[in-house]
């Protein structure tokens, strides 16, 4: 389970076969309809199953192929408030249900902070308040520069956490504009 939260293993359910008895025996269910969990719902279910100690096997052959990039309007590719709230729901769920996951959830909180920033629904104060316990160590987990490359979102979130939210929003908008220009040039 820790490897899923540290993003060393992929948590999506589309690449996992689970016996129905596992769901029934441990009463594992998707969140209620009104929760609108649109992100990390598979991580929620997969980790909920794992916390009950089910046995896992690996099959090397791919029987299913998932196309992540053909739909640019996919709910997982467009940052939304519901996406942020979904991730918060999953993090809160595991903070309540599983002891000893705080270090593993740290990365999930940092990723959620980034989604909150890119969703444009959070102010500087709101972004700082969201998982404020990680603000001081955010740059250690999500460095701005890694392997000689810049991470624009990590850079902007770091800038915002240092009290420069307006400058961070501007830098992010410039980054998005440059991405659009690069796409047009490639055509």
Tally Cβ neighbours within 10 Å of residue 143: 14
Instruction: Calculate the average pLDDT of the chain.
Output: 85
Q: What percent of the chain has pLDDT over 90?
A: 36
Structure tokens at 169: 């929003």
Q: Given pLDDT bands bounded at 50, 70 and 90, which one contains residue 122?
A: very high
Instruction: State the average pLDDT over residues 60-66.
Output: 73
Tally Cβ neighbours within 10 Å of residue 108: 24
Q: How many domains does the chain have?
A: 1
Instruction: State the average pLDDT over residues 155-163.
Output: 94
Among 16, 83, 84, smallest CA distance to 50 is for 16
Full residue range of the structural domain in which residue 133 is found = 2-186
**Pick the residue with more confidence: 30 or 109?**
109
130 pLDDT exceeds 90?
A: yes
Instruction: State the average pLDDT over residues 62-71.
Output: 70
């Amino acid at each position: 389970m820790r490897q899923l939260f540290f993003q060393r293993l992929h948590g999506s359910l589309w690449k996992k076969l689970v016996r129905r008895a596992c769901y029934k025996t441990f009463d594992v269910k998707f969140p209620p309809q009104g929760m609108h969990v649109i992100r990390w719902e598979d991580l929620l279910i997969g980790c909920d199953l794992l916390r009950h100690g089910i046995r896992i096997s690996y099959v090397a052959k791919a029987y299913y192929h998932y196309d992540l990039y053909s739909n640019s309007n996919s709910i997982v590719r467009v940052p939304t408030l519901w996406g942020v709230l979904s991730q918060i729901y999953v993090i809160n769920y595991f903070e309540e249900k599983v002891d000893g996951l705080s270090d593993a959830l740290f990365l999930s909180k940092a990723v959620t902070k980034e989604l909150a920033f890119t969703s444009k629904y959070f102010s500087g104060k709101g972004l700082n308040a969201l998982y404020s316990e990680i603000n001081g160590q955010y740059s250690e987990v999500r460095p701005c520069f890694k392997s000689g490359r810049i991470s624009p979102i990590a850079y902007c979130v770091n800038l915002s956490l240092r009290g420069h939210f307006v400058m961070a929003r501007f830098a992010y908008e410039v980054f998005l504009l440059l991405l659009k220009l690069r796409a047009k040039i490639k055509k």
